[in-house]
Amino acid sequence: MSFENSDKLTGYKERSKELLSENAIALGDMVVIKTDENEFTGLLMPRYESSDNNHIVIKLSNGYNIGISITKIRTITRTEKQTTSRQEGPFKLFEGQKNIHNSKNSNNILKTKFKIALIGTGGTIASKINYRTGGVSAVLSASDIYGSVPELKNYALIEPDAFLNEASENLRPADWTAIAHRIKDKVAAKKYQGIIVSHGTDTMHYTSAALSFALQKLSIPVVLVGAQRSSDRPSSDAALNLLGAVVFALKAQVSGVFVCMHAGPSDDVISCHLGTRVRKNHTSRRDAFESIDTPPIALMRGEIMEMNAQAESFSLNKRDETEEIKFKPDFDKRVLLLKYYPGFEPAFIDYAITTGYRAIILEGTGLGHVGKETLPLIRKAIESGILVFMTSQCIWGRIRMTVYETGRDLLDAGVIPLSNMLAETATVKAMWALANSDSPKMMVKLMKQNIANEISISIPI
């Protein structure tokens, strides 16, 4: 489904719909609204079923939405003025890009060859407030997301695909596999400059890590994007995050799996993070996502993309249409993530042994430690064939198990250190490595190998 097919006045009813129709205004049009006191210029936004019929909502150039009572509107007119202040320049990758920005008639844009696939999986970016309960639930399709960020049509033809509709805390490894298949099919179609996956933020970093291992040697960028505030709230970060994702997906010269979210609390910069090195570090802030032990790979300021100067130190594939994907979409859930704490009951590990787990990711303290009382059970687990890996609950920094006696004892017992791999990424990778190995030896080899920058080469000390 393309934007062309979506309802031109979604959510407007009765008097408000009549007013817009009379003036030949459609969603996404730049309009000037005059009231007795003020003049507002902005993009016409869609409304939702539960909204009243007496307001027209436009997105101002500062990114905020306002609703204007139709009883106060004196005139409403469509204007040709573009929101963007930069008519050309930043887009350098693709021939013909300039035409988009010089176009006077936005309908022409849909005829360009630049296409982005937008795979919807659910989450806040696809949510709206339930005015009955005051809560937020996932109800909008990818098509609705696209409709709620009309300025996207200035950049490329977005083809939404409402694939899943699930809060991300409910996603399971089987969903990673399904999403990977969907992406692979779109990549194989060879008609997109990039693929965007809209996703709930709770586990977006787990999914981005999973896709980083499942989809190797991608020919184009795959960008996950979410929102911390739902799209129908004036303070929503959905539009700018999606815009940043589109800019990166179109312009980046690299392929791989990435996450685009706000870089700071204000609406000006979007960070692009490596899929294996990103973490949700705040429950509610727009800039909740942070790159760990590395800077973001790129920043987007409006249409301008700045690649990080250090990006060359990462092993990233170049965008390359002819690249053949290495597709390994399976995950095996028999991996246990255990966070250590004083008072941790070592017998817990016995449970893992008897219930068929094949690997344990320890989230140890400091440089990669657990209390010495745990050592006998760790030895027992390893002797019974379970692979035990070490990460740190510190979040930042590399583990080093040769410095202290505790670490050396754990190494002697056969615990395998995972450098500065994030515990979340390590858990996902172990599920992937388990599904893609025919022996413990092969799994260990995969875990130690730096496949998708999950072990970062240079980190600030």
C-alpha closest to that of 9 among 1, 160, 19, 230: 19
Q: Contact, 84 vs 302, CB < 8 A?
A: yes
Residue of 31, 431, 452, 455 that binds a copy of itself (CB under 8 A): 431
Give the residues across from 387 on adjacent strands: 359
Alpha-carbon dihedral 415, 419, 420, 422, rounded to 10 degrees: -30
Is 458 one of the binding residues for a copy of itself (CB under 8 A)? no
Binding mask 317-356 for a copy of itself (x = CB under 8 A): --------------x-x-xxx-xxxxxxx-xx--x---x-
Q: Which is nearer to a copy of itself, 97 or 420 (CB)?
A: 420
Q: Which is nearer to a copy of itself, 184 or 285 (CB)?
A: 285
Three-state secondary structure call for residue 420? coil
Q: Which residues contact 172 (CB under 8 A, 6 or more apart)?
A: 333
Active-site residue identified among 128, 186, 280, 429? 280
Give the residues across from 261 on adjacent strands: 271
Question: Interaction with a copy of itself in 258-277: which residues (CB under 8 A)?
Answer: 265
Is 134 one of the binding residues for a copy of itself (CB under 8 A)? yes
Is 445 one of the binding residues for a copy of itself (CB under 8 A)? no
Q: Which is nearer to a copy of itself, 90 or 173 (CB)?
A: 173
Residue of 86, 113, 172, 326 that binds a copy of itself (CB under 8 A): 172
Is 398 one of the binding residues for a copy of itself (CB under 8 A)? yes
Is 237 one of the binding residues for a copy of itself (CB under 8 A)? no
Residue 127: phi and psi, rounded to 5, are -115, 165
Give least dist CB 133 to a copy of itself, A.
Answer: 8
Q: Which is nearer to a copy of itself, 90 or 364 (CB)?
A: 364
Is 73 one of the binding residues for a copy of itself (CB under 8 A)? no
Is 234 one of the binding residues for a copy of itself (CB under 8 A)? no
Residue of 19, 136, 325, 413 that binds a copy of itself (CB under 8 A): 136
Residue 382: phi and psi, rounded to 5, are -65, -40
Is 399 one of the binding residues for a copy of itself (CB under 8 A)? yes
Is 122 one of the binding residues for a copy of itself (CB under 8 A)? no
Output the six-digit token pair for 415. Answer: 């615990």
Question: Interaction with a copy of itself in 139-168: which residues (CB under 8 A)?
Answer: 167-168
Is 77 one of the binding residues for a copy of itself (CB under 8 A)? no
Q: How far apart are CA 210 and CA 189, in angstroms?
A: 22
Residue 106: Cβ within 10 Å count: 18
Q: Which is nearer to a copy of itself, 294 or 406 (CB)?
A: 406
Specify the long-range contacts of residues 450-453, CB closer than 8 Å, at least 24 apart: 450/315, 451/212, 451/213, 451/216, 452/209, 452/212, 452/213, 452/216, 452/256, 452/257, 452/274, 452/275, 452/276, 453/212, 453/274, 453/276, 453/277, 453/294, 453/314, 453/315, 453/316
Q: Which is nearer to a copy of itself, 24 or 461 (CB)?
A: 461
Is 50 one of the binding residues for a copy of itself (CB under 8 A)? no
Residue 158: phi and psi, rounded to 5, are -100, 125
- 201 catalytically annotated: yes
> How far is the CA of 331 from the CAs of 210, 250, 422, 433, in angstroms?
9, 30, 18, 8
At CA 352, angle to CA 350 and CA 357, rounded to 5? 145
Give least dist CB 98 to a copy of itself, A.
Answer: 40
- 124 catalytically annotated: yes
Is 389 one of the binding residues for a copy of itself (CB under 8 A)? no
Is 441 one of the binding residues for a copy of itself (CB under 8 A)? no
Q: Which is nearer to a copy of itself, 182 or 205 (CB)?
A: 205
Show which residues are catalytic. 124, 201-202, 280
